[in-house]
Chains A and B, each alone.
Chain A
């Protein structure tokens, strides 16, 4: 067969493959948007659930997800950014550094359900926090850590090394260089990484299954030792464990979760491209 004909067919096939990849994504998002939109109302978003979850709103689940995400951020951001600063600015190229990188790769690869087991074993049982926001946030924080460290380190490394040299030649210490120049310049990239990590935390179910999540909790959490509802867990339960659950409530919950995650994604992308244009190097 003529080589160019083969090529044309080949490229068309590749395009079809890309279509096979893209179309289902559109179907998923589209289906959830279309079918979930029916359920979305002001009441749905702000009211407490009634009637065994079959009516009313999912407000506590939304609040719970926000609280858990913020709670994990409180731990994951300082530890993650600190670790990234260490790797980028202080670490030498020795076996210890390689061990740290290996540890990060592994943390990133641990299945989410194993994080759930770990959270159960350490925070809920051993440290006796019980199933609580505290336990859930800490578990999510450790899960988010590798994402934040990787993104933050990349952002720090992208800052040209010359800045550090100049600061040193002006009698500045290493930390002064980091604080005055490197960190501020890397901040947009770090923020992007943090947001991406947090949206992962917001969407995860398995780590919170055994550490914090409650199904029917018709009041908002008061202390970090309380349980709470959360969107991912809520969606899981109402779609698999509650007979007679109206379908549009399931889709509505899925839509709220999806919207939350996707909008965070968009925010991160916008921040990244905006600051890339305004770079001073």
Chain B
């Protein structure tokens, strides 16, 4: 009998431990947010809002205008998605609908390889090979531009977009395809008029997740976008250097004194990044949950 009570106790302890570990994820998210706030909120007491929303980021002169950074991130990210979306969806369609099996066997591992390449390695490659290439083909003064960053980012977001888009295409029932073909449409027409529209919401989710990935990317963009915090307002800004929020934090954190205004400002940018990715992931998760509950395709 004692043995039974002992083992009952052990079982209880183990279950309690597992429950705690399960809740720990919520704890970590809160902890992260808490510490970002702790070091970032003082910023709002030290720097007037007008400064924070101005267009110049020169911390050495007490100018903390975050607009060029936010817009820089936006520019690079949106361009990246603009490149990655068609590439990713087309590749997903190719893999699922049109590729011969030998091509599929080659593509899938390749995409996994791409997903595994560390950001700093891609940034290194971008810096040493892509940037000079961009400089020469486009005839710009430097190859370290927003466009170069966007190019790298696009490839980094591709595995995410491709895999989620593939899942979305997979989820389209075979009967849809059969119906299209039965009406006399070619396979091509069926794909673009029936299957892809049916997978629309899944593709949107793929884009959102890719967007979230792209905004959060640090090292690769830092090494190739040139790190000039200018306002990207002219049309040729895409081919000029720019700076993302992530690159700013990574580049400047090493040089600040703890507790200084600059230090708080960088944490403030961290808060913006946290909230941005939180919102994007929340939206993506909401569409996934909604779709699951409805049980349908759209």
On whether A and B touch (CB less than 8 Å), the answer reads yes
Chain A residue numbers with a CB within 8 Å of B274 are: 110-111, 114
Asked whether A100 and B18 contact (CB < 8 A) given A109-B277, A239-B128, A262-B116, the answer is no
For the residues of A in contact with B, the DSSP-based class is helix
Complex formed: what's the CA distance from A100 to B23 in Å? 7
Complex formed: what's the CA distance from A79 to B93 in Å? 38
Contact between B25 and A146, CB atoms less than 8 A apart: yes
Which bucket holds chain B's interface residue count? 35 or more
Contact between A18 and B91, CB atoms less than 8 A apart: yes
Chain B residue numbers with a CB within 8 Å of A24 are: 155
**Quick one: closest A residue to B106, CB to CB?**
A22
Contact between A20 and B29, CB atoms less than 8 A apart: no
Partner of A112, one of B117, B216, B281, B284: B216
Chain A residue numbers with a CB within 8 Å of B113 are: 25, 29, 262, 265
Chain A residue numbers with a CB within 8 Å of B285 are: 101-102, 105
Partner of A126, one of B22, B32, B35, B103: B35
Contact between A121 and B36, CB atoms less than 8 A apart: yes
Interface positions, chain A 179-234, Cβ under 8 Å from B, are 199, 202-206, 209-210, 232-233
Chain A residue numbers with a CB within 8 Å of B280 are: 109
Chain A residue numbers with a CB within 8 Å of B95 are: 18
Complex formed: what's the CA distance from A82 to B19 in Å? 8
- How many pairs of residues, A versus B, come closer than 8 Å at their CB atoms? 257
Partner of A257, one of B23, B87, B121: B121
Contact between A120 and B253, CB atoms less than 8 A apart: yes
Contact between A14 and B98, CB atoms less than 8 A apart: yes
Separation in Å of the B288 CB from the closest CB of chain A? 9
Complex formed: what's the CA distance from A235 to B123 in Å? 10
Most chain B CB within a 10 A radius of its CB, from A13, A106, A111, A262: A111
Partner of A117, one of B18, B123, B129, B249: B249
Any chain B CB within 8 A of the CB of A113?
yes
Chain B residue numbers with a CB within 8 Å of A250 are: 124, 128
**Quick one: closest A residue to B95, CB to CB?**
A18
Contact between B25 and A203, CB atoms less than 8 A apart: no
Chain B residue numbers with a CB within 8 Å of A118 are: 31-32, 35-36, 270
Any chain B CB within 8 A of the CB of A161?
no
Any chain B CB within 8 A of the CB of A15?
yes
Give me the 9 closest cross-chain CB pairs, A-B, nearest first: A86-B22, A203-B118, A111-B216, A82-B21, A7-B188, A121-B35, A109-B281, A17-B90, A14-B94
Can you sample 5 A-B contacts with CB below 8 Å? A10-B188, A17-B94, A29-B113, A232-B120, A258-B118
Task: Give 4 new A-B contacts, CB below 8 A, not counting A86-B19, A111-B274, A232-B118.
Answer: A111-B217, A117-B267, A118-B36, A235-B121
Which B residues fall within an 8 A CB radius of A?
A: 11, 14-15, 17-19, 21-26, 28-29, 31-32, 35-36, 38-39, 86-87, 90-91, 93-95, 98-99, 103, 106-107, 109-114, 116-125, 127-129, 155, 158, 186-189, 212-213, 215-219, 223, 246, 249-250, 253-254, 258, 266-267, 270, 273-274, 277-278, 280-282, 284-285
